[in-house]
């Protein structure tokens, strides 16, 4: 069983010392406190999110001990499904993580209840259901109308590959979502951050599968990210001298062309992908490593 609470302060956990919980080492710089007792683990993050994991007999005890936090969570976020489009929330989402070419882009957007009607009229919805032209149009209007409520995090392929050489993608995603959420939370305190859930997600206050369809804040964030990704592909295509394809299925010809033109694949695609590694032979990779080829 996993319980998640929001808006928790470290002082709220003082009483746990008398209940047998022992402080252990934190596992990332985003953790303020990590406690253990029997089969229970309690983690307090810098965002104020409290994650409680319990097994066996500890489950009922945990729920009782943390009953006051349930009230905190309901007060901060009264509806998780019904009426979700009208919540005052920060939404964030990422794009390009599955694309062979390009790096990574994340968008975040704070949606006030009074913004919903404008966004709906603009045509905001799941970005996968929109054309590139519509995405670019909506993104431009949102940036013009709500400049202080938007945040974007962008990595071009070279930076993406450098970071992924020392970090996992899951770690990069969690750090980036947390980074964007914290920027907007400093501007708009006491607002819940909703993340479109991905495997290994421990960022945000609420992680929801398919959040683009449930929260207009997340849908807007995804559109902002997708529009920036389209701009990145235009830039990369200009550098390569030909149009680079998005996605990961019809990319073999483009990879072949990158190789024929003797361009550095690290500057254009994700070198950890199997299709990229297959396109550039192992012998070539070893010969070019010292020149920054991989």
Q: Give Cα separations from 229 to 23, 38, 99, 248 (angstroms).
A: 42, 46, 11, 15
Higher per-residue pLDDT: 40 or 287: 40
State residue 288's pLDDT score: 44
Q: Which helix (H) or strand (E) holds 45?
A: strand 40-45
State both tokens at 103.
Answer: 């790096």
Mean pLDDT for the stretch of residues 55-70: 60
Confidence category of residue 73, pLDDT binned at 50, 70, 90: very low
Own/partner pairs for 119-122, CB < 8 Å, 24+ apart?
A: 119/216, 119/220, 120/85, 120/216
State residue 65's pLDDT score: 64
Confidence category of residue 80, pLDDT binned at 50, 70, 90: very low
Of 45, 3, 80, which Cα lies nearest the Cα of 203? 45
| CB-based contact 227:140 (threshold 8 Å) | yes
State residue 293's pLDDT score: 38
Mean pLDDT for the stretch of residues 61-78: 49
pLDDT of 186-227, one tens digit each?
999 889 999 998 888 989 988 888 898 889 999 999 999 999
Q: Which CATH class is domain 2-76?
A: alpha beta
Architecture of domain 84-237: 2-Layer Sandwich (3.30)
| CB-based contact 183:151 (threshold 8 Å) | yes
User: CA 34, CA 171: separation in Å to the nearest integer?
Assistant: 18
Mean pLDDT for the stretch of residues 19-32: 78
| CB-based contact 101:245 (threshold 8 Å) | yes
pLDDT at 291 over 70: no
User: CA 257, CA 52: separation in Å to the nearest integer?
Assistant: 51
pLDDT at 247 over 50: yes
Q: Which of 49-53, 121-125, 181-185, 211-215 has the lowest mean pLDDT?
A: 49-53
Domain borders along the chain are: 2-76, 84-237, 240-291
Burial class of residue 122, CB neighbours in 10 A (0-12, 13-18, 19+): middle
pLDDT of 259-282, one tens digit each?
999 999 999 999 999 999 999 875
pLDDT of 81-131, one tens digit each?
434 444 689 999 999 999 999 999 999 999 998 899 899 999 998 888 899
Same fold, 2-76 and 84-237: no
| CB-based contact 281:275 (threshold 8 Å) | no
State residue 74's pLDDT score: 33
Query: What single DSSP character describes residue 269?
Result: B
pTM: 0.69
Neighbours of 134 (CB within 10 A): 17
Residue located via tokens 């995405």: 135
């Amino acid at each position: 069983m996993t319980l998640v609470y929001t808006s928790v302060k470290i002082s709220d956990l003082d009483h746990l010392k008398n209940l047998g919980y022992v402080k252990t080492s934190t596992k990332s710089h985003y953790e303020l406190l990590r406690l253990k007792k029997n089969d229970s683990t309690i983690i307090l993050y810098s965002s104020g999110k409290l994650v409680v994991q319990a097994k066996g007999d500890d489950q009922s005890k945990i729920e009782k001990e943390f009953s006051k936090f349930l009230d905190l969570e309901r007060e901060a976020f009264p509806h998780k499904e019904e009426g979700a489009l009208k919540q005052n929330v920060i939404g964030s989402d990422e794009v390009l993580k599955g694309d062979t070419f390009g790096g990574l882009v994340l968008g975040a957007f704070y949606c006030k209840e009074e913004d919903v009607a404008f966004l709906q009229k603009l045509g905001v919805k799941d970005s996968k259901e929109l054309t590139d032209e519509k995405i670019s149009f909506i993104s431009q209007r949102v940036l013009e109308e709500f400049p202080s409520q938007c945040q974007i995090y962008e990595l071009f392929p070279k930076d993406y590959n450098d970071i992924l050489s020392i970090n996992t993608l899951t770690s990069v995603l969690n750090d980036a979502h947390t980074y964007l959420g914290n920027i907007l939370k400093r501007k708009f305190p006491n607002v819940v951050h909703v993340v479109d859930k991905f495997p290994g997600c421990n960022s945000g206050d609420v992680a929801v599968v398919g959040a683009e369809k449930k929260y207009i804040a997340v849908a807007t964030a995804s559109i902002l990210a997708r529009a920036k990704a389209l701009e990145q592909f235009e830039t990369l295509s200009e550098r390569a001298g030909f149009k680079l394809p998005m996605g990961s299925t019809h990319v073999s010809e483009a990879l072949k062309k990158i190789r024929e033109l003797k361009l550095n694949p690290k500057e254009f695609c994700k070198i950890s992908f199997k299709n990229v590694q297959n396109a550039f032979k192992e012998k070539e990779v070893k010969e070019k490593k010292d020149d920054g080829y991989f």
